[in-house]
């Protein structure tokens, strides 16, 4: 007879779906080390990796009823972790792009920067934030994907269901709209 620790992943998933929460604990024990190593390699930070592994297991628990038991559980779990890592990277990239904060007290303050220059820089960043927020969604999304994710026009087109040429045009229009908002309309 097979003990609870010897069941394969599919059997453990079936047990969880049948109401045995301890089976999910066994799945976590079985996959936590490899998932942690995977996420740690992706993000490069031990603390962040630990948090992302936890988020991945929470997401897996919530989505377990959608798991295809004919596929490997470990691969499915890593797919969830990849999405969590991408979300984490996106949040970091956006924060870095918009704020480039050196300290939490004075976002955007550069070491050795005179206070007047720091205030001017904060004002510029606030104006940029407002100008980007005011862009129509159709211009904002391609621009942010290009700047924060560094995706190619083709990759952005695939993600948004557009052509590469349409993405190129929207990014151009977004940049022009930002220029107009920050410096005043230009003659064309």
The reported pLDDT for the residue numbered 79 is 86
The reported pLDDT for the residue numbered 181 is 86
Beta-carbon contacts of residue 145 (< 8 Å; ≥ 6 apart): 151, 155, 156, 159, 160
Tokens of 67: 């798991």
Q: Would you say residue 26 has pLDDT above 50?
A: yes
Contact 132, 142 (CB under 8 A): no
Q: Which domains does the chain have, with CATH numbers?
A: 4-85 (1.10.1740.10), 99-134 (no CATH), 136-188 (1.10.10)
Q: Would you say residue 56 has pLDDT above 80?
A: yes
- The arithmetic mean of pLDDT across residues 167-178, rounded, is 92
The reported pLDDT for the residue numbered 167 is 93
Judged by DSSP in three states, 150 sits in coil
The reported pLDDT for the residue numbered 164 is 92
Q: Would you say residue 113 has pLDDT above 60?
A: no
Tokens of 70: 């004919």
- Least trusted range by pLDDT, from 49-58, 86-95, 101-110, 161-170: 101-110
* Three-point CA angle 45, 81, 13, nearest 5°: 135
Beta-carbon contacts of residue 121 (< 8 Å; ≥ 6 apart): 108, 109, 110, 113
Contact 123, 115 (CB under 8 A): no
- Least trusted range by pLDDT, from 32-46, 55-69, 93-107, 149-163: 93-107
Buried b (16+ CB within 10 A) or exposed e, 9-29: beebbebbeeeeeebbebbbe
Across the chain, what does the average pLDDT equal?
80
Q: Of 57, 58, 55, 68, whose CA–CA distance to 13 is shortest?
A: 68
pTM exceeding 0.75: no
């Amino acid at each position: 007879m097979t003990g609870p620790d010897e069941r394969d992943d599919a059997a453990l998933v079936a047990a969880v779906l049948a109401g045995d929460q301890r089976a999910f604990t066994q799945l976590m024990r079985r996959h936590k080390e490899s998932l942690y190593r995977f996420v740690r390699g992706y993000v490069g930070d031990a603390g962040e990796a630990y948090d992302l592994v936890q988020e991945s297991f929470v997401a897996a628990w919530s989505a377990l009823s959608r798991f295809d038991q004919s596929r490997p559980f470990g691969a499915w779990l890593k797919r969830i972790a990849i999405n969590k890592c991408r979300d984490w990277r996106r949040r970091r990239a956006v924060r870095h792009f918009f704020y480039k904060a050196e300290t939490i007290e004075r976002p955007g303050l550069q070491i050795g920067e005179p206070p007047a220059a720091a205030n001017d820089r904060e004002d510029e960043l606030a104006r940029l934030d407002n100008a980007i927020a005011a862009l129509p969604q159709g211009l904002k999304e391609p621009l942010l994907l290009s700047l924060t994710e560094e995706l190619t026009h083709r990759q952005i087109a695939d993600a948004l269901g557009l052509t590469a040429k349409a993405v190129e045009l929207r990014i151009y229009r977004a940049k022009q709209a930002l220029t107009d908002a920050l410096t005043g309309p230009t003659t064309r």
